[in-house]
């Protein structure tokens, strides 16, 4: 449940921020006549995201056996990659508001007002569709790892919409940088788990070798009645960590390398981005 809440709230909040920044800019520059194009973009983006969800579900339902394992593994790796690019992009954006406002300004500056309206519509439509498609992929990847939950996803969307609204109404004073920073840490661990589990699915399909499988086994023995202990990867606590962080009590060497390699690569990229941001502030 927490995994779904985190994913949908993060994606919805990002989309809400784009919409809020555009609406605030249009109000501030007395261009309120373009607000209806924002609404059209929101509706169009949501409908297109729903269509993408149906298409993805239809495609996913057509696989079985090793093909299903390959599809699930590929989805997990794509989800991990998209999460990574989203997190790194947010780390680089020190002034998200100005970045979006500059795009709106370019669209409004067009001599043909029809192009201006289309530009505003496209900006919102693409933002909503991008977050929607990413959410579809993330939730499907989470479902394969046992971490997706409809209630958690719905609550995440509602919480993000309320947070975004209150933020732009100035009724809620929050530090977005700290909020995104905290959620990014959790999402990085989730993405690392997706990468490792994607590799595991490829192992199950026979595409790759685990090298040493298992590398170790720390799963507690199954109880005499067939139930799983708390810390077993299929136990109550273990299954939560499996869905949230990709915990595996008996991973292969390749899975462990994928997990640790991902975290190592993210650390290197993070340090580079922080260095670039510091140099940019000095410049």
The residue among 39 and 149 whose pLDDT is bigger is 39
> Residue 68 above 60 pLDDT?
yes
Q: Residue 234 pLDDT > 90, yes or no?
A: no
Asked if residue 151 has pLDDT above 80, the reply is no
Higher pLDDT, 100 or 137: 137
pLDDT confidence of residue 93: 62
State the Cα–Cα distance between residues 6 and 14, nearest whole angstrom.
Answer: 12
> Does residue 267 or residue 231 have the better pLDDT?
267
Contact partners, residue 220, CB within 8 Å, separation at least 6:
229, 231, 232, 235
Q: What is the percent of the chain where pLDDT is above 90?
A: 31
pLDDT at position 206, please?
A: 92
The more confident residue out of 43 and 88 is: 43
Structure-model confidence comparison of residues 77 and 65, the more confident one: 77
- What's the predicted TM-score (pTM) here? 0.80
Mean residue pLDDT of the chain comes to 85
Mean pLDDT, residues 171-178: 64
Q: How far apart are CA 18 and CA 225, in angstroms?
A: 53
* pLDDT tens-digit map of 25-67: 898 889 889 999 999 999 999 999 999 999 988 888 778 888 9
Does residue 271 carry a pLDDT above 90?
no
Q: Sketch the domain layout of the chain as residue ranges.
A: 2-175
Task: Provide mean pLDDT across the span 254-266.
Answer: 95
In this structure, of 83-97, 165-179, 201-215, 252-266, the range with the lowest mean pLDDT score is 165-179
Confidence of residue 148 (pLDDT cuts 50, 70, 90): low
């Amino acid at each position: 449940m927490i995994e779904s809440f985190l994913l949908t709230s993060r994606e919805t909040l990002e989309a809400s921020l784009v919409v809020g920044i555009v609406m605030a800019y249009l109000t501030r520059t007395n261009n309120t006549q373009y607000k209806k194009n924002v609404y059209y973009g929101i509706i169009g983006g949501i409908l297109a995201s729903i269509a993408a969800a149906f298409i993805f579900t239809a495609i996913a339902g057509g696989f079985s056996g090793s093909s299903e394992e390959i599809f699930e593994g590929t989805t997990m790796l794509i989800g991990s990659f998209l999460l990574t690019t989203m997190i790194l992009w947010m780390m680089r954006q020190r002034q998200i508001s100005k970045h979006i406002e500059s795009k709106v300004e370019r669209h409004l500056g067009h001599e043909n007002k029809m192009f201006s309206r289309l530009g505003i519509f496209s900006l919102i439509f693409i933002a909503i569709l991008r977050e929607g498609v990413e959410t579809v992929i993330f939730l499907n990847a989470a479902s394969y790892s046992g971490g997706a939950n409809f209630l958690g996803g719905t609550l995440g969307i509602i919480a993000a919409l309320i947070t975004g609204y209150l933020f732009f109404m100035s009724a809620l004073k929050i530090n977005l940088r700290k909020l995104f920073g905290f959620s990014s840490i959790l999402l990085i661990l989730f993405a690392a788990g997706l990468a490792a589990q994607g590799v595991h699915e490829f192992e199950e399909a026979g595409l790759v070798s685990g090298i040493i499988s298992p590398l170790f086994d720390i799963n507690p023995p199954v109880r005499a009645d067939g139930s799983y202990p708390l810390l077993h990867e299929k136990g109550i606590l273990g299954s939560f960590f499996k869905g949230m962080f990709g915990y595996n009590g008996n991973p292969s060497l390749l899975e462990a390398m994928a997990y640790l390699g991902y975290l190592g690569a993210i650390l290197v990229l993070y340090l580079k981005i922080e260095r670039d941001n510091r140099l940019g502030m000095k410049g």
